[in-house]
Structure 1
Amino acid sequence: MGKTTYKRLKGSQNLRQRLLLSTLSSSPVLIEDIRAEETLPGLRPHEVSLLRLFEKVSDDCAVEINETGTKLKYKPGIVMGGRHILHDCGVSRSIGYFLEPLILLGLFAKKPLTIRLKGITNDSKDPSVDTFRSTTLPLLKRFGVPLEGLNLKIESRGSPPHGGGEVVLAIPIVQSLNAVTWTDVGMVKRIRGVTFSTKVSSQFENSMIHAARGIFNNFIPDVHIFTDHKAGLQAGFSPGYGISLVAETTAGCFISADTAIAYARAEETGDIEDEKKELMPPTEVGEQIASVLLGEIEQGGVVDSTHQGLLFLLCALCPQDVSKVRVAKLSPYGIETLRHIRDFLGAAHRPAPLVHQPPKLSADYLTASPLQVFLG
C-alpha cells in the first residue's frame, strides 16, 4: 500500500467544513496549530464530538489527535449510514451545528441514515432544529432528494446550558443531486413559525407571537405561528424560550430566521450559573426576530444568509451541469464555503450579471465553474 498523502492545513477556523469536504472528496487532512496560541489550546469539546460522529457514520475512518489537541490527522472512511445510531452532541454547541454536515454525509451514504441526536435543540448561536425542519429539508427537495425517508422529528427540547433535547433525523440516499437554475425569488405569500418554551410560562410564547404579528400584519395577512410549550421530561434540563420564522414565496423559496433566549453556558461567561442574568423580554424577542426576517427578505436571495453555505455545497456536489443560483450579499460563512469548495473539489463560482453593486470579491473566484452565483 502507498503512503497516505495528507492535505496540510492550519488553524481552527471552519473545521466542520474541512472535515465534511475531506470526507466527501476522500482527501485526508492534517490540521496543525489548532488554537496553539490561546490560553486553552486545542480542539473544543464540540469539535471532538463532531469527529466522533463522523466515525459513527463511517467505516474505516481514522482520527489521530496529539496530547494538546493542537494537531489533528483525519483520514476519511466510507460513509455507511445505518439505522438506530445514537450520538450525544454535548452542550458546547447545539444540535444544529452537527446537522448540516450530517445531512450531506447521509445523502451520499451506502445505506439510508436514521440517527438520534441528544443535546441542545435551540440556542442563539446555531440554526435551530425548527429551522432545519421548515427550511433546510425543503431546500434538499429542490435538488432532487426524495420526500420519502426525509424527516426530522423533535422528541424533546433542550435549552442551554444543560440541554436535554432529543431529535431523530432520517435521510434517504441519492444516486446524484440535480443541478438547479434558481434565480427567481418571487413575492412572499405567507409567513409561518413556531415558538417554544421550556421550564417557563407558556405566556412567554403568546407574547412573542403577538409582538411578531404586530410587525408582519403591516405587510401580509397570512401569518400563522404555532406554539410548542414543553413540560416535564420533554422540556430538558434548563429554562428557555425562542421563536423560529419562515417566509414562503410564490417561487417556492423559504427564507428563515430564528433565535432562542436562555442562560449562557458557563464556559461562555466564566460566571457561576446561579448568578442569574436578566433575559431579554419575550416581547422584544418577537419584535427583533420579525425585523431580522424582514431584513433577510429584503436582501433578495433564494435562501437566507444562514443557508448560503449549504446551498453552495449542494450545487458543488451536483454532476457537472451548471447550477445557477441567486443569493444576497455573501455572508462570511458563504465566502469561506466557496473557498473550501475550490480547495477540496476544484470548483469555484463565477459571478453573474448583477442587479446592483455587489460586495467586492477576490479575483480567485473569477474562473469558470459548475456554480454561477447571482448577487441579487
Structure 2
Amino acid sequence: MESHGLTYDGCNFFRQRLVLSTLSGKRVKIKNIRSKDDNPGLRDFEASFIRLLDKVTNGSRIEINQTGTVLFYQPGLLYGGAVEHDCNTQRSIGYYLEALLMLAPFMKMSLKATLRGVTNDPIDPTVDLLKSSALPVMKRFGIDGEGFDLKVVKRGMAPGGGGEVVFTCPVRRTIKPVQLADPGKIKRIRGVAYSVRVSPQMANRIVESARGVLNQFLPDIYIYTDHMKGPNSGKSPGFGLTIVAETLNGSFLSAEMSSTPQGQGDPVLPEDLGRNCAKLLLEEIHRGGCVDSSNQSLALLLMTLGQQDVSKVLLGPLSPYTSCSRSRCRSLQRRKVKVATRS
C-alpha cells in the first residue's frame, strides 16, 4: 500500500473517519482493525459501508489487505446521482443513512439513494427517528427545499430485513450559520407506532401505554399507527415506537424503542415498550439542548462545514459517541464555532 495522509489505529469511529476523509479529500489508512480478535479484520457491514461510499463517489481508491486488518482509502469526487444499495443486515439502514446525511448536501449532483435492508432494530437509529429528528436539524442549516425527503417504502425488522427506503437530497453549496441557544418549552409530541408480521393490535397497545405516561404532562399528543402488510412488511416480525417532542422554538427531541429481534433474547410486551419509550423521551427532554443526543455529531459537523460566521448551539450532556470525538471539537474551535453544553 502506498504512502498515506492520516493514519488511525483500530475500528473505532470507522464511519466518521471515512466520512471526514471523503469531505476533506484527505487519504486515510486505518490499521490494526480488530487485529487481536479471534475473528480479525473488517466486518461484513463495514465492507458494505465502504461499497456504498464507492457508489456515491467517483474515482475513489480502496485497498484492503488479505486479513482485512488494514484499509487504505483515497476518496474520489463526491458525485451523487441515483444510487441503489443492499445494506448488510448485521446493522440497520440507519447505520448507512447517518453517513449519507452528512455527505448528501455536498455532492456534485442531487442524491437519490435507494437503500434496502433492516429499517428498524434496537442498535442503530431507525429510519423513522432520522426522518423526524435529523432532517429538521439539517433544515435549520439551510438544507431543505423540494426533493429533500426520506420515504419508507417497505419495513424490514431485524434480523431478516427486507425493508426499503428512498432518501433524496438537493445539493447545497453553502451551509448557513445557526444561533440555537434556547430550545424553548415543549408544545406537542408526535410519533409513529409500527408493526409488521404481528397483530395490528400491537401498535394500538403501544400507543395506549405511551399516552398513559405522556398525557400526564401534555394534552397535544398524536401517535399514528403504521401496520404494513404483505410484501411491504419485510421478512421478520416485530414492532416499535418512535416519538418526537417539538419545542416552541423549533427544536426536535426524539426517543425510540424496537422489539427484541426474533430469536435474540427475551420478547418484550408492547405495553412495556410503549411505557419505556415514553420515559426515554422524558429523559431526553430533561437533558435539554436544542439538538437531541442522537443528532449531536451531525449538528457539530454541519457547524464545522458552515461559513466562517460564528455558529452557536446549546447541547445537553454529550453522548459517548460525540464526546469521544475530541479532535473534532478542537477543529471546531478553530472554525469559530461555539458549543455550549448543559450539565
Structure 2 length-normalised TM: 0.97
Q: Give the root-mean-square deviation of aligned CA atoms.
A: 1.3
| Letter matched to residue 8 of structure 1 | T
Q: Tell me the CA shift for residue 277 of structure 1.
A: 4.4
1:178 is matched with 176
Identity within the alignment, %: 44
1:348 aligns with 2:306: no
Is the contact made by 1:18 and 1:340 (CA closer than 8 Å) also made in structure 2?
no
Is the contact made by 1:28 and 1:74 (CA closer than 8 Å) also made in structure 2?
yes
1:339 is matched with 327
Is the contact made by 2:4 and 2:29 (CA closer than 8 Å) also made in structure 1?
no
| Letter matched to residue 300 of structure 1 | G
> Residue deviations 1:206-251, cap 9 Å, x none?
1110010001110000000010001111110000100000000001
Is the contact made by 2:304 and 2:335 (CA closer than 8 Å) also made in structure 1?
no
Is the contact made by 1:149 and 1:172 (CA closer than 8 Å) also made in structure 2?
yes
Query: Aligned partners of 1:5 and 1:129: how far apart in 2?
Result: 35
Q: Tell me the CA shift for residue 25 of structure 1.
A: 0.6
Secondary structure of 2:72 counterpart: strand
2:314 is matched with 326
1:40 is matched with 39
Secondary structure of 2:11 counterpart: coil
Query: Aligned partners of 1:40 and 1:321: how far apart in 2?
Result: 47
| Pick aligned residue for 1:100 from 92, 98, 112 | 98
Q: Tell me the CA shift for residue 197 of structure 1.
A: 0.6
Q: Tell me the CA shift for residue 205 of structure 1.
A: 0.6
| Letter matched to residue 174 of structure 1 | R
| Pick aligned residue for 2:301 from 300, 313, 324 | 313
2:56 is matched with 57
| Letter matched to residue 247 of structure 1 | A
> Residue deviations 1:245-264, cap 9 Å, x none?
00000010000011111326
| Pick aligned residue for 2:286 from 280, 294, 298 | 298
1:68 aligns with 2:34: no
> Residue deviations 1:109-135, cap 9 Å, x none?
000000100000011111110111111
Aligned residues: 341
| Pick aligned residue for 1:166 from 164, 168, 192 | 164
1:370 aligns with 2:336: yes
Query: Aligned partners of 1:48 and 1:294: how far apart in 2?
Result: 37
Secondary structure of 1:245 counterpart: strand
Query: Aligned partners of 1:340 and 1:33: how far apart in 2?
Result: 22
| Pick aligned residue for 2:276 from 280, 283, 288 | 288
Q: Tell me the CA shift for residue 5 of structure 1.
A: 3.5
Query: Aligned partners of 1:285 and 1:178: how far apart in 2?
Result: 39
Gaps of 5+ in 2: none
Within 5 Å, which residues of 2 pair with 1:1-20? 5-20=4-19
Secondary structure of 2:109 counterpart: coil
1:78 aligns with 2:77: yes
> Residue deviations 1:16-61, cap 9 Å, x none?
0000000101110011000000111111111111100000010000
Query: Aligned partners of 1:158 and 1:133: how far apart in 2?
Result: 16
> Residue deviations 1:151-207, cap 9 Å, x none?
011000001111000000001100110011101110000000001111111111111
Query: Aligned partners of 1:369 and 1:129: how far apart in 2?
Result: 31
Query: Aligned partners of 1:95 and 1:209: how far apart in 2?
Result: 25
Within 5 Å, which residues of 2 pair with 1:267-282? 273=263, 277-282=265-270
Query: Aligned partners of 1:201 and 1:123: how far apart in 2?
Result: 19
| Letter matched to residue 374 of structure 1 | A
Deviating 4+ runs (over 4 angstroms): none
Larger mean Cα displacement after TM superposition, 158-167 or 328-337: 328-337
Is the contact made by 2:308 and 2:335 (CA closer than 8 Å) also made in structure 1?
no
Q: Tell me the CA shift for residue 309 of structure 1.
A: 0.8
Within 5 Å, which residues of 2 pair with 1:122-201? 122-201=120-199
2:27 is matched with 28
Query: Aligned partners of 2:340 and 2:266: how far apart in 1?
Result: 43
Q: Tell me the CA shift for residue 336 of structure 1.
A: 2.8
Gaps of 5+ in 1: 265-272, 350-367
Structure 1 length-normalised TM: 0.88
Query: Aligned partners of 2:18 and 2:253: how far apart in 1?
Result: 27
Query: Aligned partners of 2:265 and 2:4: how far apart in 1?
Result: 50
Q: 1:278 to 1:332 in 2, by over 3 A?
A: closer
Is the contact made by 1:255 and 1:304 (CA closer than 8 Å) also made in structure 2?
yes
| Pick aligned residue for 2:206 from 205, 208, 215 | 208
Query: Aligned partners of 1:163 and 1:331: how far apart in 2?
Result: 28
